[in-house]
Amino acid sequence: MQDDIARERHLIRYSGRGSFSPEVIDRASGSTVITEDGRELLDFTSGQMSAILGHSHPEIVATIRAQAERLDHLYSGMLSRPVLDLAERLTATLPDPLDKAVFLTTGAEVNEAALRMAKLVTGKYEVVSFARSWHGMTQAAANATYSAGRAGYGPPAPGNFALPVPDRFRPDLVDADGNLDWRRQLDLGFDLIDAQSAGSLAACLVEPILSSGGVVDLPPGYLAALRDKCRERGMLLILDEAQTGLCRTGDWYAFERDGVVPDILTLSKTLGAGLPLAAVVTSAEIEQAAHERGYLFFTTHVNDPLPAAVGNTVLDVLTRDRLDLRARELGDRLRTGLDELAVKHPVIGDVRGRGLLVGLELVGGSDGADRLGAAVTRRCAELGLHMNIVQLPGMGGTFRIAPPLTATAAEIDRGLEILDKALTAEAG
């Protein structure tokens, strides 16, 4: 009761469609979150889709303790060994010419910094992103976000355009076989953008897999075609790999599948494995052009040593334990189990995604799927599994499933078992 009063009296509610969980979390370890009452929840969201090494990983804990005792924060113009090491090591995991990095704290910050850089370098200001995008709540990132948060805050900045989402399960345009005709959809999208543009297209900011937008994996070939559209218009391609980067999809970076190297890459959630660490990575050529034009973007915690030290430990663990391969193997196990559930439960309309970022969409009418998704989520929580549904109108029946890369096969199986029970109880 006291906690309920505290919630009502003292906490600002920061999600219009969601609410706080009824239980207070006391601690977490590995793939498990534990409430103050001692109840255990298997975490199939990796915290906020971030804790790829699980909670309280012993090497992360040791790094934080040791680095905090030595050097935690500096004046923004000073450099530390963890920052220099992380810049060198992170860029070594990426293809040429991505060899310059700056470290910030959140995905919104790095998307803001990337868009600011693209506008300065190109001398233009217009930005294209997907119609179900989520890139953050700071100014430019929010203007490029179409999935939520646009109503009630006054006019967005001019020059932001939405591109249709190439959703193969719910296609807008189809070919003769009834499949998504994404090439025609992409052509039409840019025809409309060109018609509205003031001739000042600066950048296209997209996720390789739209996570908040419904775990929509871009069709093979789409990213290359999008890159070509950008080049034709002198735009920079910015890839937001907040949730897909650092091994989650079974590759170190989701763009590797398509052989497309972005002009600017943004990383966040997974880079700090749950700690506030994010990065903008770009080429020496773009960085030099931005510097010559007086590029300005820094925050209180730019290039801070403590989170950079954590980032180095994350790279240590990912490399040593081959967590890209583990994500692929566990992802296959998860996907097989979900496909089996789809045969058993007709209410499951689609299973999609890559590695350990998987979407499961329920069907049965828009409102019906929304209600069912909420009911299944509640029942999963009662049974000991934390699940996350997409918070978009008409998409509340879509689950984002993203266990830690350190999860065990037994934990994947247990999560599938609980989900099966929840679907049986709520959908029959």
State whether residue 97 is helix, strand or coil: coil
Which residue in 240, 258, 263, 324 is the catalytic one? 240
Q: How many residues can be counted in the chain?
A: 428
Q: Is the pLDDT of residue 397 over 60?
A: yes
The confidence score (pLDDT) of residue 370 equals: 87
Biggest CA-to-CA distance, the chain: 64
Domains in the chain: boundaries:
2-57+322-427, 71-320
Which residue in 207, 304, 411, 426 is the catalytic one? 207
DSSP 136-184: -SSHHHHHT--SS--TTS-PPPSSEEEE----SSS-SSB-TTSSB-HHH
| Rounded-to-integer distance, Cα 295 and Cα 80, Å | 22
Which residue in 134, 258, 304, 326 is the catalytic one? 134
For residue 250, report the phi and psi dihedrals to the nearest 5 degrees. Answer: 100, -15
Q: What is the mean pLDDT of residues 47-75?
A: 98
> pLDDT category, 117, cuts 50, 70, 90?
very high
Which residue in 100, 227, 229, 269 is the catalytic one? 269
Tell me, yes or no, if the two domains 2-57+322-427 and 71-320 fold the same way: no
pLDDT tens digits for range 129-142: 999 999 999 999 99
Q: What is the mean pLDDT of residues 256-262?
A: 98
In this structure, the number of other CB atoms found within 10 A of the CB of residue 382 comes to 13
Instruction: Please name the residue that has the structure tokens 């010559």.
Output: 292
Q: What is the mean pLDDT of residues 38-65?
A: 98
| Rounded-to-integer distance, Cα 367 and Cα 295, Å | 47
> pLDDT category, 207, cuts 50, 70, 90?
very high
Which residue in 67, 324, 400, 426 is the catalytic one? 400
Cβ atoms of residues 281 and 287 within 8 Å: no
Q: In this structure, which CATH number among 3.40.640.10, 3.40.50.150, 3.40.50.300, 3.30.465.10 belongs to the domain 71-320?
A: 3.40.640.10
Q: Is 243 a catalytic residue?
A: yes
The confidence score (pLDDT) of residue 377 equals: 94
Which residue in 167, 185, 243, 324 is the catalytic one? 243
Q: Is the pLDDT of residue 1 over 70?
A: no
> Model pTM?
0.96
pLDDT tens digits for range 187-197: 999 999 999 99
Burial class (CB in 10 A: 0-12, 13-18, 19+), 6: exposed
Tally helices (H) and strands (E) across the chain.
Answer: 13, 17
**Which token pair is 36?**
């103050």
Burial class (CB in 10 A: 0-12, 13-18, 19+), 410: exposed
Q: Is the pLDDT of residue 54 over 90?
A: yes
DSSP 35-82: ETT--EEEESSHHHHT-TT-BT-HHHHHHHHHHHHH-----TT---HH
> pLDDT category, 17, cuts 50, 70, 90?
low
* The architecture CATH gives domain 2-57+322-427: Alpha-Beta Complex (3.90)
Instruction: Please name the residue that has the structure tokens 């469609």.
Output: 17
Q: What is the mean pLDDT of the chain?
A: 95
Q: Is 207 a catalytic residue?
A: yes
How far, CA to CA in Å, does 391 sit from each of 7, 19, 139, 149, 373?
21, 11, 21, 11, 10
Q: Is the pLDDT of residue 381 over 70?
A: yes
> pLDDT category, 8, cuts 50, 70, 90?
confident
pLDDT above 70 as % of the chain: 97
Which residue, among 320, 356, 317, 313, has the nearest Cα to 338 in the 3D structure?
356
